[in-house]
Chain A
Amino acid sequence: MSGQITRRLKPEEEELLRKREELIAIRATLAERELELVDFRSQLAAFEGRYLRQVGTLYAELDEWKARISALQARLDPSTAANARAEEAREQARQTYEEAHGKASETQDYAPLPDLKSLFREVAKRIHPDLSKDSGDLERRTRFMAEANRAYEAGDAEALRRILDEYQDGADTLEGEGIGAELIRIIRQISLGKTRVAAIERELATLRQSEIALLKKQAEESEQAGRDMLAELETAVREQIELAKREYEALAKQEVKTA
């Protein structure tokens, strides 16, 4: 370690020590908040996947029947308005299908092991991009951090360990860096770290107000009341599908008669 600490510390050396400690604390906070964020996102993504598979696909089926009904109605009683309604219903059915069967529906249930959490914390402390020294270092850290996020979401502890091994953190100080330069660098890192913590807080607050988070909250509240919201939604949409089917069949009979 350069910047030798002698028994009688100069004021700038004392300041450097204090700032180093502050940076360590910021790193710990940042890692904690970063973990909270990725954890919350993963939970939401998993819940969204479950919701789309269990209920979303049924909404897609319902909209398909509605589109067929509108198309039949337009054939039975053609008019510009009826045609426009049929087209609109068809477009809605297409959109719902895409949403329900898209990539988001593939996210599986989420249950990270405690081991995974502590590994991620370690990774975030060591390689967080906001704690980088220069632009080359920043790019490297950013790349590793993104990989760590993906590994965490996939529940891949092995990958997190590999990232830790591969990422060789350099010395805390750069060669030939004087006390003044190091002090400035650390102060800047602390400031960036604080900015990032604030950004994470804002992002968490936004996420908590997102539709999917509110839906998840409703599900949790219903669970506390001994109920299963997703199952109840499923039943309700199935009933609507049955009604739509019957309406469609009645219309189809009418069409046969008029033909």
Chain B
Amino acid sequence: MSDETRLQVTAKDADSSLSLSKVAPGLVARGRRDAEGLVLREPTDRLSKARQLAERGDADAQYELGEAYYEGQGVPRDYAEALGWFRKAADQFHLYANTHLGNMYERGEGVPADRAEAVRYYSRAADIAIAYCESEGLRGWDPDWVMGAVDKGAEHGHTEAQVLAIAWQRLKLPETRRRAEEGDDFAQWRLGHLYQKGEVVPQDYVLAHMWFNLSASNSSGDYQGQGAKARDEVAGKMTPGQIAEAQRLAREWKPKPRLET
């Protein structure tokens, strides 16, 4: 046997026990392409572009970078980094950055929970939202008007306003509830609204009906018609038993004494 044949025997035999990648060549190449294109390159490229713009002071890019750090997308999650970039964007009147900072202070993410600071950011966001809503012909700085403006914006499909409305209402819930229980017709109408929507409190048509009903019967002015209209609307989605229960609750309801402020 020549030396050459020996070598061939060896090489062939070493191969025969291994099936490697000759079995699935198409699939492996496909995975490579997909991994190359949509998994590894795209997000990091987008992020590095955002970082460039953010460092040059672009508020949207600063917000995007903050989001990436907050969610841990393309970078390891880092609340401190997220806070830094959100603050930079928030200082440039970026609406989302302000609401996001409000959320982080409210939940205590990356900072100690601080309700006052959360309110400050939500208020700033509300200011921005009002400026935003002014394009809808709305005016006014009274807190209830702010909510009205935000609500209007939300109704008109502005996502920013919708986000803000939920955050703001969640924060204002204790106050709204207290005022409703004291007999404030506007607060009663608002609370009914919250129970009807179920975004801030769990959805409850019976309670929604009760508060709408109270605001309608209570009011001498603005909310009489609105309350009645909203009450009848929600009644359309309720069983007779539920309506009877809601009416009983409204009948038995007594206002709490008003707190001195």
Contacts and interface: CB of A to CB of B under 8 A. Distances in A.
B20 A212 contact: yes
User: Chain A: interface secondary structure?
Assistant: helix
Nearest to B23: A104
Contact of A222 (B16, B21, B40): B40
B30 interface: yes
Contact of B24 (A100, A130, A236): A100
A37 B26 CA distance: 24
A96 B14 CA distance: 28
Nearest to B29: A211
B17 A48 contact: no
Interface residues of B, number: 33
A95 interface: yes
Contact of A45 (B13, B20, B38): B20
A59 B32 contact: no
A89 to B, nearest CB: 14
A199 interface: yes
Nearest to B10: A129
A219 B40 CA distance: 9
Contacts of A138: 1, 6, 9
A68 B20 CA distance: 31
A210 B18 CA distance: 14
28 contacts: A37-B14, A41-B18, A48-B21, A48-B24, A52-B24, A59-B27, A59-B31, A102-B24, A103-B19, A104-B19, A129-B13, A130-B10, A132-B6, A146-B13, A149-B14, A149-B18, A192-B6, A196-B7, A207-B20, A211-B21, A211-B25, A219-B35, A222-B40, A229-B35, A229-B39, A229-B40, A232-B39, A236-B34
Q: Which 5 A-B residue pairs are closest in the complex by CB-CB distance?
A: A99-B24, A104-B23, A212-B21, A135-B1, A211-B28
